[in-house]
Structure 1
Amino acid sequence: MVSSSVKRSRSADRSLDRGLDRRIDGQQPPSDRSGQSGQIEQSGQPGQPEQVDQQRFNPIPTTRCLVQPLPTAPLFGTDGIRGQAGTLLTAPLATQVGFWAGQVLRCHGETGPVILGQDSRNSSDMLAASLAAGLTTAGLEVWNMGLCPTAAVAHLAMGNAGGIMISASHNPPPDNGIKFFSSDGTKLSSLLQQQIEAALRGQGLPHTSLCSTEETTSIQWGRAYQRPDLVERYVDFLYQPFQPHPDLSGLRIVLDLAWGAATRVAKQVFEATGAEVVILNGLPDGDRINVQCGSTHLDQIKTATTELNADIGFAFDGDADRVMAVDAQGRVIDGDYILYFWGQTLKQADKLPNDTIVSTVMANLGFERAWEQQGGKLLRTPVGDQHVFAEMISQGAMLGGEQSGHILCHHYSLTGDGILTALHLADLLKQAGCSLPELVAQSFETYPQRLKNVRVEDPTVRCNWSQCEPLQQAIAQAESDMGDQGRVLVRASGTEPLIRVMVEAASADLVDYWTDTLADQVVQHLG
């Protein structure tokens, strides 16, 4: 006997079928002129195919599912593979990336599952499924955590075959990315990334087609599992330095979760500390991730922190591997300040080898000179947390990061973790016994600094910007004009089609003049 619930379900299904075309365009189903319903009038001559009404049917671009030629420029940039979903990052490409990454990992003896995670972008599900298909075709097991911060993937990758995070970090919603972690929780080495790309291009590893007609009975197939429960292991890891939880009671904290990966854990993590927590942009939303919010758009967090008279506000990016802070006066506490405060704390505890902090060429001169006055040393690297990490390993340093909010403290983690950093900064503030504005007043005064981004679509032009003679002449003139009281940094972004122009000087007028002048040169000769 069929149960009543099943009968109701089938009845509902028939209702859905009858109403389908009404929902497509909001109109009643068509009927023929004779009044006999259910017969749809055909267009065109008998025996000819019906003409599609383009106003009612907008086909999905075939670029989403066709194998596209690989770009001549390298796929792997400063943070894995990044580009627009459906254009560069398609399902076929992601499947091939997963397959060849699996082959490379197996060739290097990695065993265990590959940990997969993603941010909230609309294309992340597609890329996750495609990567899992490629990895399992290569014979590897996949544990998919779903929505989670990048640092969760890095942490869970330790002791396993590796990890893959699907995210474009701070980029806008149409973009996405694929970044890899090794079995020790660090970013995959450049050598292994090069091997994956070489295999994708038919070089390096023996070429094996995904559509091979060879006998497949002996091939080991991997399995894919949904493992959202693993995120709780990451949450437990965040609390380990504090045992059992950091005590942030008495603090009012505002969190801007940027509609991204931080929405999975940040509210839970901070509420467990006893703090009063106010959440902005706190649901996963692929249409709004990073849009006028998060670590690269600080107006919302500044307004909320000021109006609520909060002790501190934190803004994360789309995958929560970076964080920016603000105080109750709306002042931005960027990575330079975070490194300075955390560096002081570690130095006083004799946990900062050689009193050394590693940062990048973007670090403010005010920060560098203040740290040197404390008896410390600041080492600079090119932009990119992978460069910071490499220098930290080379020098035996325990603290490093970027002005943009990527912070690495090797006492606790081997990768950038915005939530971990925010917890430690909030704990530092609680232990200081003073307000954040007072803490800032005791630190350093920044030199005026301005960053201007100029869009340059041609990747070849971007990569060869340094060969532009008029721009080089303008840079030389700027450096001569400012002397040792300023500096110029022009570079191609490794994650976006941008040339970044940064000028820093003792005078704000000089900064504005030379930033605009150099940006105009980029537009004129490269844009």
Structure 2
Amino acid sequence: MATTCRGASAAAVRITWPSSESPATSCKTFGRRDFRRAPSPAAKMAMVTGMDKAMTPRHNSRLARTFPPNYKFLGKADAIPARNRMAPTRPDGKDMRRFFGTDGIRGRAGAFPLQPEALSVIGATLTSVFFLRARRAPRFVIGGDTRESSPWIAAALAQGIAQAGGTVSCAGVIPTPGVAYLTRAEGFDAGIVVSASHNPYHDNGIKFFLASGEKRDDDLETAIEVALDALPPAPPTADAPDAPPLWEDPTHALSYLEFLTQRIAADLDLSRWRLALDCANGAAAPYANIMLQALGAQTCVTGATPTGRNINDQRGTTHIRHLAEFARATDAQLGIAFDGDADRCLFVDEQGEVVDGDAILYAMALDADARSELSPRCVVTTVMSNMGLEVALRERGIELIRTPVGDRAVLAAMLERGALLGGEQSGHIIFARQSLAGDGLITALNVLRMLTERNLSLREAVRGLARFPQTLINVPVREKRPFETLPGLAATVRDVEAQLAGRGRLLLRYSGTENLARVMLEAANGIDIGALAAQVAAAIARDLGNGRP
């Protein structure tokens, strides 16, 4: 049900994970157990003895159990670059990345490795890696979305961190980019996010942020892969573990809200706006409405009553048509939808049309360029973005740089080229001057600022972007074999590309977080892209599918 909040105060907010015990109870407090304790004697000894020796977890008997015998450490810590201090090896030379996808670890909560013992090992490994780098007990901040499994996953990770001599502070429910901000602003060694983004409630995941705000840390991921690979997988369980909850520090939420309202939105007056918000019953629910009302906007809200099991359920960016209907019903000038962990957002304009990440990049690039603030004159996006965006920007002298799918790839290219703006069609936008993490709340504020200062509607701001017709089909697969090894598919692809005759493009890729093959096809008007994409999807389903596409 839609609700309208009036006069909310950021100073009064208390943010907790929802209880799964009763849908009628929206939140519960964490209790009072706090894992922020002093390192154990063994960990202290490791810190001392590691100063003038090769610093390895073997100095600490509990840390040593984290790593299998074939894990090799390189030399003295002070002689090794921070990002390359350890090199795991496996005799068979197989790919180590069994657990990490394009956006951290993700899977069914209660299935390996999202089980208490494995999570504790992940926490201990994380602590070991940062202990080697910092030569002291590392400090972490942890937060997550509103899934019923998020509290016990966070508690299990924190237990492993504490046992290995690290300390952890809990932010409770907070958007993924909020953890990135806290990590950087409050001097933590790393941030930990418990979330599965836009996935259903029964899934969950873990991702890490460095103090710089970056997600990429290949050494850390490899260390965790090796540690998990040494564990025998336990059978999945549907029952939540009886883990002691973490105590949350409410100052973290307030710090993030202050950053948004006082720094990102400094001097921004939204009193002219009536907004419809869809918080996906996720991490944006305690923040978006408070933030926008504090800036003077009138808001109508849906998807802001999380129960632990309704995150992304017919709400949020994956169900954007619901927001279009809601915005019309509430007579809103603009609709804003977030995904489960609020690192992306999509918009609905005043006529109920969806405005995706491509259109946001187009409008924000033109605005920055007009203010001489797009230097270098380029935008970074992925291979999934529409060819129309590339053509529209090229006509205005702005280069479009394409990367593989994933915000990590986008950020890597942005840092390499010095680009200030990048993102994905899904609504994950990075404004490098403000944050290296895509942030749906920052995106909403920046778009609203641009529209307010230029006195435009969103429809007017994106005018000039002529899209190529595009279609995307997701095909469930039982395994992810290289597409080029499938003879039937190869023949179909050759036939489709011959019909496109250079007037469009076909892109095949596997999802990094789900057992899906994605078929994307776009072409100039006059080509039946739906029929062509269906041919390719059917070929994949014949070879790999576990059902009809």
2:464 paired residue number: 443
1:484 paired residue number: 502
In structure 2, C-alpha distance between the alignment counterparts of 1:325 and 1:501, rounded to whole Å: 24
Q: TM-score, normalised by structure 1?
A: 0.79
TM-superposed deviation, 1:166: 0.2
Would you say 1:80 and 2:104 are equivalent positions?
A: yes
AA aligned opposite 1:84: R
User: 350, 354, 358: which is aligned to 1:336?
Assistant: 358
Would you say 1:192 and 2:220 are equivalent positions?
A: yes
Report the secondary structure of 2:170's partner residue: strand
1:140 paired residue number: 166
TM-superposed deviation, 1:508: 6.4
Deviates more, 1:337-346 or 1:236-245: 236-245
Unaligned segments of structure 1, at least 5 residues: 1-70, 203-208, 210-222
User: 448, 472, 477: which is aligned to 1:456?
Assistant: 477
In structure 2, C-alpha distance between the alignment counterparts of 1:508 and 1:87, rounded to whole Å: 47
TM-superposed deviation, 1:509: 4.8
Would you say 1:129 and 2:155 are equivalent positions?
A: yes
- 8 Å CA contact 1:259, 1:282 repeated in 2: yes
5 Å-filtered alignment, 1:36-115, equals 74-88=98-112, 89-109=114-134, 112-115=138-141
TM-superposed deviation, 1:408: 0.4
TM-superposed deviation, 1:236: 1.4
1:14 paired residue number: none
Report the secondary structure of 1:264's partner residue: coil
The structure-2 alpha-carbon separation of the partners of 1:514 and 1:252, relative to structure 1 and needing over 3 Å to count, comes to: same
In structure 2, C-alpha distance between the alignment counterparts of 1:119 and 1:446, rounded to whole Å: 34
In structure 1, C-alpha distance between the alignment counterparts of 2:365 and 2:385, rounded to whole Å: 14
In structure 2, C-alpha distance between the alignment counterparts of 1:164 and 1:353, rounded to whole Å: 32
In structure 2, C-alpha distance between the alignment counterparts of 1:416 and 1:285, rounded to whole Å: 26
Q: Could you give the per-residue CA deviations for residues 56-104 of structure 1, whole angstroms, max 9, x where no partner exists?
A: xxxxxxxxxxxxxxx9861111011000011131111111111111111
5 Å-filtered alignment, 1:105-184, equals 105-109=130-134, 112-158=138-184, 159-184=187-212
The structure-2 alpha-carbon separation of the partners of 1:93 and 1:508, relative to structure 1 and needing over 3 Å to count, comes to: farther
Q: Percent identity?
A: 40
TM-superposed deviation, 1:224: 6.8
Q: Could you give the per-residue CA deviations for residues 135-171 of structure 1, whole angstroms, max 9, x where no partner exists?
A: 1111111000110100110011112110100000001
In structure 1, C-alpha distance between the alignment counterparts of 2:105 and 2:537, rounded to whole Å: 27
1:280 paired residue number: 302
AA aligned opposite 2:141: I
2:423 paired residue number: 401
Choose between structure 1 and 2 for higher RCO, CA contacts under 8 A separated by at least 6 residues. 2
AA aligned opposite 1:326: V
Deviates more, 1:120-129 or 1:110-119: 110-119
RMSD: 1.9
TM-superposed deviation, 1:111: 5.4
- 8 Å CA contact 1:162, 1:180 repeated in 2: yes
1:525 paired residue number: 543
TM-superposed deviation, 1:484: 2.5
The structure-2 alpha-carbon separation of the partners of 1:147 and 1:135, relative to structure 1 and needing over 3 Å to count, comes to: same
In structure 2, C-alpha distance between the alignment counterparts of 1:142 and 1:188, rounded to whole Å: 21
User: 231, 239, 244: which is aligned to 2:253?
Assistant: 231
In structure 2, C-alpha distance between the alignment counterparts of 1:506 and 1:306, rounded to whole Å: 32
Deviates more, 1:397-406 or 1:424-433: 424-433
TM-superposed deviation, 1:463: 4.2
Unaligned segments of structure 2, at least 5 residues: 1-94, 232-244
Report the secondary structure of 2:285's partner residue: helix
1:65 paired residue number: none
1:499 paired residue number: 517
TM-superposed deviation, 1:239: 2.8
1:378 paired residue number: 400
In structure 1, C-alpha distance between the alignment counterparts of 2:404 and 2:526, rounded to whole Å: 25
TM-superposed deviation, 1:134: 0.6
AA aligned opposite 1:139: G
AA aligned opposite 1:341: A
AA aligned opposite 1:495: T
Larger Rg: 1
- 8 Å CA contact 1:255, 1:279 repeated in 2: yes
Q: Could you give the per-residue CA deviations for residues 17-71 of structure 1, whole angstroms, max 9, x where no partner exists?
A: xxxxxxxxxxxxxxxxxxxxxxxxxxxxxxxxxxxxxxxxxxxxxxxxxxxxxx9
Would you say 1:346 and 2:368 are equivalent positions?
A: yes
Q: Could you give the per-residue CA deviations for residues 108-130 of structure 1, whole angstroms, max 9, x where no partner exists?
A: 21755201001000111110110
